[in-house]
Structure formats: C-alpha cells, structure tokens
Structure 1
Amino acid sequence: MKIAYFVHDLADPAVARRLSMLRAGGAEPVVLGFRRTEGAPGEVAGVRAIDLGRTYDGRLGHRARTTALAALGAGRWRGLLAGADAVMGRTLEALATAEAARRLAGVRAPLIYECLDIHRLMLGEGRAGRTMRAVERALLRRCALLIVSSPAFLREYFEPRQGVGRSLPIRTLLVENKALELSGGRPRVQAQPLGPPWRIGWMGAIRCRRSLQILTDLAARRPDLVEVRIHGRPAYTEFDDFDAQVARLPNVAFLGAYTAEDLPRLYGDVHFSWAIDYMEAGQNSAWLLPNRLYESGRYGAAPIALSDVETGRYLAARRIGVRLDDPSELEGVLERMTNEAWRRLRAEIDAVPQETFVAGEADCRRLVNAVAGRAADAQDDPSPAPRLVA
C-alpha cells in the first residue's frame, strides 16, 4: 500500500514515529513536508523526504503564504503521487497542500486528515477564526477519515464545532501518542537517584511560558527540594528569553534535543515528568494527551498533571501519577514526598499493562488497515468506525 504523507515539519520526531508505524504496518509511505529547521533532512525514518519549504513558529501569515505556494505548485509531484492508495495530511496546512496535490495530480485515492492539535486560531469568533474553520470544514467534506490523538478533540471541537458525526458523517480514528517499540521486550531504565532534591523532567515540545515560570520559580525558591531537566525543542517565540531564564539557576538545565533512543536514559534520570501545559489553557491544552504522558508511563517517571484536564483524567482513570488542582500545590507535594512514597508511585505505573503506553507491530497493522480499508469506503458508509487506539 502506497501512502503519500504530507506533514507540517519534517524534523518533528512524531513524524518519524508515524512513518515508522506506517512502514511497520505494511505501507510504503512517501513523505512531503514543510520544515522548521534551516536545513531539510534527506530522509525521515528511512523514507526519502521531499522538502516543501521552511515555515516558522508563530508566523501564521508566512505559513499561510508558504502553504498556498506549495499548493499552487503541487502538480509537479504527480509522479510521486502516482499509484497512491491514500493521501494523508498532518495538520491543516499539510492537509490543504495534500488536497491540492491530490487534485492536480489526478489521484483518486481517499484523503485522510491527521489532527494532533487544535490551534487557538481555530476557536476564535473573529473573522480569521471563522474563515479557518470554514476552510477546515470544506476540506473535511472531502476527507474519508479523520485521525485524532485525543478523544477530547472530537468531544470538544470536531463534533460540536465542525459537525463531525452529524452534518459531516466522516469516520474517525483515535491513535494515541504512544511510544513506539517494534523490537519487543521492555527497555532497561536506570534506577533513579534517591531524593530530595526531586528531579522533574520537561520533555518534548517546550512551548508553555507559564510552565517555565512555575518550574523556575520553585527551583529558585527551593534548591534543596527540586531540580529541573528540560529536553526538547523550545518554541522561542513563546518566551521572553528562554535561555537566560534557564541559565540563571544552577538547578535548572536545558539539555537540547533528543532522539527516541535517548528516552530511557532521559526519563531514568528524573523522578517526575512535567505534563502540564497552559499555552492554550481551556482549549487545546485542556484537551490534548501529549507524548510525554505515554513516555512517562513507559519509562517509569511519575507524570505531574492538572486534575481537571484530559491528561489528569487519563491518569485518574489508571490511578497513577501526581494530579494537582493547582500548581501551587506542587511544593507541598514534594515536601511530603519520601523515597518510599516515590517508589509506590513507580510501582503503580509499573503495574499498568504496557500496551497502555506502547504501540507495537499489531497496532501498526491496524492503523494501516484502517487507512486502507475503512477510509476507502467511508464516503459511501456514513456509520462511524470503531475508534482505534494504537
């Protein structure tokens, strides 16, 4: 099965994970994407990468122009798309480009929309918000399948705001942001050092100004109690001066980007994982289920989340992690923490079946089969498909 996969950022580790899943499921993906880095990768997860141009965090106008230019020139990819069994777009800008390419190349394969975030612009009641929702709705009408990473995206946005399941009888597929392991067996995770100080890891997309303020304030006030390790790719447009804020504290460190192979070591070096996000509070931040949630479960760091958001509800349902009604409670939680109490938190995580946090080969096959089979006849059969958790 050939899948043409259009993505928003070729350098995003989650894109590499999805390509690995598609390949492990029996598909032959072709990846075409924008990039947020200066240089374009030649390949992603063993798949040759076609560069569509550079875009930038926060510069929505530039991204819109780059997307439009890519769409206008989409006919040149006719050869790459020939014989495709499905055309997937990851995020709205990639979906728009994918649909333009599909039509200009004369490809009749079904269109698939993969949505991993609901940008705050999509929820505005001004002209821009209404226009973007109208564009998305028009594209959804042409889609055979909608893939989301959190059930709250359907419950809070696609169903009530875009009419999915009512005026838009599109099939939906839930594919959580689980860690991917294809080799089998559980990775070795080093034993965490005893606390205090208790070490908190903040991994992945670093984009929440308030989270950085909470963590650095606590670290400055209580160097005896907490250390903070930050790994990933900061969205510098979201911070006043990320590097200076981190550098002024000896017990806070930013250690750069990482690969999937680094995860056992990174999580093995911390006691807790920061899974709180305020970037789009009450909206996307309240609905998402982030990568770090599953990585924490896989590698044994206790996730810290707010009780009244989807991440907190996920933890509560499994009776794991630290759930706060307000981040001001964190200092008291850590003051009362003992090594015995932390070991209990770790034991509770270890007791959860690992398929809760990890996707394997069977999940990859189910994903590809869903894209191939269920997507192909979705426009003829309006009944909702079972939601797949991969």
Structure 2
Amino acid sequence: MLHILYLAHDLSDPAIRRRVLALQTGNAEVTLAGFRRGENAGAAIGSLSTIELGTTEDARFVQRAGAVAKACLNLGASLRGVAKPDIVIARNLEMLALARRAVSLFGGDIPVVYECLDIHRLLLRQDFGGRMLRAAEARLGRGISLLVTSSPAYVDNYFDPLSGIDAPVMLLENKVLDLDDDIPLVPGPRPPADDEPWKIGWFGALRCRKSLDLLSRFSRAMEGKVEIIVRGRPSYAELKDFDSFMRGEPFMSFRGAYRNPEDLSEIYGEVQFAWAIDFFEEGQNSAWLLPNRIYEGCRYGTVPIAIKGTETARFIARRDIGFVLEDASVEGLVELFSRIDRQSYTDAASRIVEQGARQWTFRRDDCLDLVQRLSAIANSEETAFRSHARTRPQGSAAI
C-alpha cells in the first residue's frame, strides 16, 4: 500500500478533506500534517488523526512564513513515530518548504509532488519581492517529480512564462468527489413557482468583496425578483463586516457552512444559478482559475454565471452551457435577467443535463488511477518525471 505524507496549508479547508478521501479511496495510506486556520467540523476526515504543525492566519504572509519556519525547526519531533512515506505531497508553496525538510529527515530519497491550485498575487509581482518569492519557489521545487494544478490557464500564464518550476504537469480539475457506485444523474431543470424569485447560489470560499457588493446592489435593483443565497466559509480577513453586512440585506441570506460533498445536492438543489465569478485577484488568479462552483453546480443541474475574459467563461463557452456577462455591473446583470424566462432557463439547464455527470465528478476508478500514478512515481517506474523538463498538462479527472 502506498504511504503518502500529505502536507496541508489549512486542515480546516474542505478541499483537503476531499483530496485525502480520494487518496484513501484509491487504497493509499495517508498521514496528514499541516496548519490550521480556524475550526470547521465539516472538514473532519472520519477517524484519520492529523498532525497539527501550528496555526496560520488569512492575508498575513509574514505570520505564515514565521509559522512555517518554526514548523521546519520542530518537524522532526512532529513526525516522530511516522513511518517513512513513499511519496510526499505539498499543498501550496509554504508546504513545499516543509516537504523538503521532511524528505531530509527521512533520508533524502523520497519523491515530492507540488500541488498548486492557486497563484498568489505576491508570486506575480514584478518587483524585488516578487522575484525573490519566485526564486524561492524554483529553489524549493528543484527536482520535484510532478506539478499538480487545476487549470490550464495557470500553466499558460504563470508556470510556463514566470515560474522556475521545471517538472511535468498533471491537470486535476476541481471535480465533485462522488464515490457512489451507481451512475450519477444530473437533475433536470427546476424553475421557481410563479410567485417565487429566481435564486442564485454563491457557495464556497467567500472572500470577494466585489462579488458581495455587486450581488447586493443587483438584488436590490431587482426588488425581490432575484434572491441571493450565500453558503460557505467567509474570509473575515477580507470581509471584516460580513456578518453585519448580510444582516442588512433584504434579498440576500447567509445559510452557513456545509459539508462537501455530502450537502452539495441539497444546497445546489434550491437554486437555479451558480455564481462562478471571483474578483479577489482580478486579472490574475481570478481570471485563470476553474472554481469548484462550476463542477458542483453543473453536477447538480445548476446554471453557471461567468464573466467574459476568464478561463471560466471559456470553459462554459466550449460546452455551450451557462451565461457569460459582458461586464461586472448591476446593469449587465439586470440586462441578463431581463432576457431569462422559464424557457431560456430550461434550455440552459437541459444542455447541462445532456453533458452527463461523468465530466463533473471524480469517481472511485479515478481515485484508483490517481493513486496508481503516484505509486508509479514512488516506485521509479516513471523515471521521466525526475529527469525530463515539463510536458504539457496531462488530462485527468480530479477533485
């Protein structure tokens, strides 16, 4: 059985839970170690014990760097009693530093996988600080066996032209973890009753002030014809007044956190549209990402709304699904919903149904394939991973 040491930047992130569950389903033994940025009972992974390396805080890079440095010094004690892993996966840049330290502690001959699903704005700066951070990433990433990322735009806009990482790329999309043995079906259209409003769901990591303000002003302009339902984990570092803001909204409601994937059917089932727009790092990471919301929404028959000029917009345009805004404005949203009626919505939702659930989900066989790929690296059967320059992204369904 493959033994993976998984180093996580945030043990309370539901995405970490999904990845670990996928690896376990693929018959890997996982030792999970990482930092915590708050409590989230929905991110618990059954009986799996975790090794906490400290606490970090959102939007505090210096604090996080200090926590990583301290964890590196104490890593020998933290990993005492842990058997030597076959492979180490480092989720995000700060964990890559810990991966290097762990490999040295275990003997120096363990392959490392760098999993980078967001490009932090500091890495994109063209000043001395940005260049130094990219140099650190290149140094820490020297000789890694595999780079895992979730969008081809990350490769085109960062890893190829700017990053010093020189490794093959595996594209693992943010698909829905679905371990049900039955073939999943995408629910059909569910228009609101005649006396009910259209509902837009904004779910997941809530950190975008511009989205919050835009949806507020839009829902007020529609005077109750559109309702915004918000669920997930607010980043209070970015949205300090989130709770009081939501209490003052007549047509928006915050319904709290949810379990992923267990609660997805329920929460997406009560909305017709998914807000698949993010302005948090506008023009950079936000323009390049393929968010969970696309896959989750489409898996449960919810029509995505994207903004022109983003990878998300290109993704849904290629599949002829969803709606794309020309500009991020109240007027643009009002104009869009002036064109949406029961028939146009039903047509859009039906096109998602026709796609089938397979391309939105990460199945049990995908888990097995992923672990088999990692096992091949650990067993040196894919020696090209360690000696050859980066190839183009290799397709693979993923969470």
TM-score bracket for the superposition, by shorter chain length = over 0.9
In structure 2, C-alpha distance between the alignment counterparts of 1:211 and 1:293, rounded to whole Å? 16
In structure 1, C-alpha distance between the alignment counterparts of 2:43 and 2:121, rounded to whole Å? 32
One-letter identity of the residue aligned with 1:178: K
> Is 1:379 aligned to residue 378 of structure 2?
no
> Is 1:271 aligned to residue 272 of structure 2?
yes
The aligned counterpart of 2:152 is 151
What secondary structure sits across from 1:220 in the alignment?
Answer: helix
One-letter identity of the residue aligned with 1:236: Y
> Is 1:234 aligned to residue 231 of structure 2?
no
Q: Deviations over 1:113-143 (max 9, x none)?
A: 0001000011012222112111111111131
In structure 2, C-alpha distance between the alignment counterparts of 1:371 and 1:45, rounded to whole Å? 23
Contact 1:374/1:385, CA 8 A, preserved across alignment: no
> Is 1:220 aligned to residue 220 of structure 2?
yes
Q: Deviations over 1:90-132 (max 9, x none)?
A: 0111121121122123252101100010000110122221121
The aligned counterpart of 2:112 is 111
The aligned counterpart of 1:172 is 169
The aligned counterpart of 2:255 is 255
Contact 1:197/1:223, CA 8 A, preserved across alignment: no
* Moved >6 Å (runs of 4+): 39-42
In structure 1, C-alpha distance between the alignment counterparts of 2:121 and 2:393, rounded to whole Å? 28
Displacement of 1:325? 1.4
The change in CA–CA distance for 1:114 and 1:42 in structure 2 (over 3 A counts) is: closer
What secondary structure sits across from 1:141 in the alignment?
Answer: coil
What secondary structure sits across from 1:108 in the alignment?
Answer: coil
Deviates more, 1:326-335 or 1:192-201: 192-201
In structure 1, C-alpha distance between the alignment counterparts of 2:146 and 2:303, rounded to whole Å? 34
Displacement of 1:250? 2.3
In structure 2, C-alpha distance between the alignment counterparts of 1:227 and 1:40, rounded to whole Å? 28
In structure 2, C-alpha distance between the alignment counterparts of 1:314 and 1:219, rounded to whole Å? 26
The aligned counterpart of 2:284 is 283
What secondary structure sits across from 1:219 in the alignment?
Answer: helix
The change in CA–CA distance for 1:113 and 1:274 in structure 2 (over 3 A counts) is: same
> Is 1:140 aligned to residue 125 of structure 2?
no
Contact 2:17/2:43, CA 8 A, preserved across alignment: no
Contact 2:84/2:106, CA 8 A, preserved across alignment: no
> Is 1:206 aligned to residue 213 of structure 2?
no
Q: 5 Å matches for 1:56-67?
A: 56-67=57-68
What secondary structure sits across from 2:282 in the alignment?
Answer: coil
Deviates more, 1:116-125 or 1:331-340: 331-340
What secondary structure sits across from 2:70 in the alignment?
Answer: helix
Contact 1:42/1:49, CA 8 A, preserved across alignment: no
One-letter identity of the residue aligned with 2:26: G
The aligned counterpart of 1:74 is 75
Q: Deviations over 1:326-382 (max 9, x none)?
A: 133211111221112111111010001322110101211221122221464211344
Say which of 170, 181, 188 aligns to 1:184: 181
One-letter identity of the residue aligned with 1:389: S
Displacement of 1:80? 4.8
In structure 2, C-alpha distance between the alignment counterparts of 1:92 and 1:81, rounded to whole Å? 23
Displacement of 1:189? 5.4
Unaligned runs of 5+ in 1: none
Contact 2:191/2:345, CA 8 A, preserved across alignment: no
What secondary structure sits across from 2:192 in the alignment?
Answer: coil
In structure 2, C-alpha distance between the alignment counterparts of 1:46 and 1:192, rounded to whole Å? 41
In structure 2, C-alpha distance between the alignment counterparts of 1:324 and 1:279, rounded to whole Å? 17
Displacement of 1:45? 4.7
Unaligned runs of 5+ in 2: none
One-letter identity of the residue aligned with 2:172: V
The aligned counterpart of 1:101 is 102
How many corresponding residue pairs? Answer: 386
Q: 5 Å matches for 1:310-389?
A: 310-328=311-329, 329-374=332-377, 376=380, 377=383, 378-382=385-389, 384=391, 387-389=394-396
What secondary structure sits across from 1:285 in the alignment?
Answer: helix
Q: What is the identity percentage for the equivalent residue pairs of Structure 1 and Structure 2?
A: 41
Deviates more, 1:219-228 or 1:209-218: 219-228
One-letter identity of the residue aligned with 1:361: R
The aligned counterpart of 1:37 is 38
What secondary structure sits across from 1:146 in the alignment?
Answer: strand
